[in-house]
Amino acid sequence: MQDVPADFRPWLATLIALVLATVLTLVLRQVFNRVYRDDEGMRNAIGKARLPFFLTVTLAGAAISTTTLVSPSELPFTVSFLLWAALVVSLAWLLVVVLSLVEATLLAKYEKDHLNEVSRFSRMKTQVTLIRRVITAVVLLIAVAAILLLIPQVRAVGAGLLASAGLVSVIAGLAVQGTLSNVFAGLQIAFTEAVRVDDTVVVEAQQGVIEDITLTYVVVRTADGRRIILPSTYFTTTPFENWSRGTAELNGNIVLDLNWTAPVDEIRRRVTQLLESTDLWDGRTNSVQVTDAIGGMLKLTIVVSARNSGDLWELKNFIRERVTKELQQNFPEALPRPAAYPPAAPAK
């Protein structure tokens, strides 16, 4: 490096950093592709880190070389600022991608180890995702602060602002009071497990599934595909139903109105056969009872159970369709007769 003219040393050092970044990126790519050769999802997630890693290594080498080989008086401020700002941005980008990669790795391993424990995986997913978002927000905040501190004028202003920090903190606290309350409510939701991702809840008189929990709001997906966006404070201040609290297992009722001639014992036997023939039933609850007999009609209630709300919905429809179809075919007299329509007027 001593034999290289002073004007070309920064460029040579930057070229060396570029070559080193390229070699490291290619080597790590091959290593991770070999380690996760059977996991396409992990390979795709790791692939997202290649570009920010390459940029970070290259810019770090360039920044170090220019700092050590060029005197501050010879290096224009604009070039120095852009170089260090780009390094901060690329490093923050890399950290955000690595956080997402760590989240994907933890969730994939946890799901594999607890394949049949849906509630535990939902709890883990909610907490890990929220922690990742909190750390991501902190990383981005630090990156913005670091870029601003690269500007001498901003550092000078910062010293003056510290003198009035008390007033600023009061104003800022009043300005973001609602946002902070939602952030703390989001953290409370994640770690007290009031709701978790994939829980079945009833909010605003509507049933839905928790689709996403962020720092400030919760997304509830209804059965018809709509999304209800609720602030995190809703779940800490407003009563709501959580059908998956503690366990995702649910019971459901199927109510049929039948005539007095309905073969209850035959229906009970057939419901048992149908439940045993499908994987939707979790084996816990199977009950067929006459729960009312008034007005010339029997009210037959079939109670079944499933592992989660989705399976319960499918199971109830399956039992209802099969039972009514077989009654139509084999015991039509057991079905209530619809009211007769008035005779059509004679044609003129």
**Final residue of a structural domain among 137, 164, 191:** 164
- Let me know if residue 193 belongs to a domain: yes
pLDDT of the residue at 152? 74
Is the same domain home to 33 and 103? yes
Q: What is the pLDDT of residues 177-197, one digit of tens each?
A: 556 676 777 777 767 777 888
pLDDT at 108: 77
Higher-scoring residue by pLDDT: 246, 170: 246
In tens, the pLDDT along 152-186 reads 766 665 555 444 444 445 444 544 455 667 677 77
Q: Which residue has the tokens 């880190």?
A: 49
Are both 276 and 320 inside the same structural domain?
Answer: yes
Range of the domain at 217: 181-242
Q: Is 112 helix (H, G, I), strand (E, B) or coil?
A: helix
In a domain, 344, yes or no: no
The answer to whether the predicted template modeling score (pTM) of the entire model surpasses 0.75 is: no
Asked if residue 262 and residue 124 are part of one domain, the reply reads: no
Contacts of 316 (CB under 8 A, 6+ apart): 252, 254, 304
Q: What is the pLDDT of residue 3?
A: 54
Q: Do 207 and 277 have their domain in common?
A: no
Residue 4 lies in a domain: no
- pLDDT class of 198 with cuts at 50, 70, 90: confident
Amino acid at 300: L
Both 150 and 190 in one domain: the answer is no
Per the structure, how many domains does the chain have? 3
Count of alpha carbons within 13 angstroms of residue 253, beta-carbon side: 8
Whether residue 155 sits in one domain with residue 196: no
12/1 Cα distance (integer angstroms): 9
